[in-house]
């Protein structure tokens, strides 16, 4: 009796204490509004939620343009226009005249159009942080690895196979 109770609790706790589910990226078809121009584009996106509940989304339009959207939960400068630096390991890309849009009182959004080759850089190191104006936001190593996996999936999907 005691042995079967121990086996039951052992099985229960082993199944209950599994870690977070493994991140498996997949495309979702949707439309996206390009802030500023009020243009609505159709395409597919893949996204991941970071440790601080920020969201990184890679969006590819049907006319082969690529966007990175950050939904951030810290360092707010709503409606401010400044340079956005996207860090990937020791490399950085700089986007001029980026505006942080207010989504809610606890989240803001950046949306930038990027070239396809940026995703090759992101798949090597992930995105390790962003700098907007004077505010720097660092992503954890786990977040950077999650973005790295998502970038690899995205880059493989948008790059023609040889």
Cβ atoms of residues 120 and 148 within 8 Å:
no
Average pLDDT, the chain: 86
Judged against a pLDDT cut of 60, whether residue 65 lies above it is answered with: yes
pLDDT at 69: 95
> Residue 118: how many CB atoms within 10 A of its CB?
20
Q: Could you tell me if residue 5 is inside a domain?
A: no
More confidently predicted of 113 and 2: 113
CA neighbor of 61 nearest in space, from 39, 37, 44, 38: 44
Cα 129 from Cα 38, distance rounded (Å):
28
Q: Could you tell me if residue 75 is inside a domain?
A: yes
CATH of the domain at 78: 2.60.40
Q: Could you tell me if residue 21 is inside a domain?
A: no
- 134-147 residue pLDDT tens: 889 999 999 999 99
């Amino acid at each position: 009796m005691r042995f079967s109770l121990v086996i039951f609790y052992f099985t229960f706790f082993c199944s209950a204490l599994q870690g977070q589910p493994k991140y498996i990226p997949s495309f979702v078809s949707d439309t996206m509004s390009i802030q500023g121009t009020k243009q609505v584009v159709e395409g597919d996106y893949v996204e991941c939620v970071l440790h601080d509940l920020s969201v990184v989304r890679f969006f590819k339009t049907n006319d082969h343009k690529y966007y990175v959207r950050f939904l951030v939960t810290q360092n707010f400068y709503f409606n401010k226009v400044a340079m956005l630096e996207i860090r990937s390991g020791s490399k950085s890309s700089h986007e001029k005249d980026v505006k942080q849009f207010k989504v809610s009182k606890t989240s803001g959004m950046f949306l930038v159009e990027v070239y396809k080759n940026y995703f090759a850089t992101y798949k090597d190191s992930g995105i390790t942080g962003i700098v907007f104006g004077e505010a720097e936001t660092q992503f954890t190593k786990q977040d950077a690895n999650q973005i790295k996996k998502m970038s690899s999936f995205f880059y493989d999907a948008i790059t023609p196979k040889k």
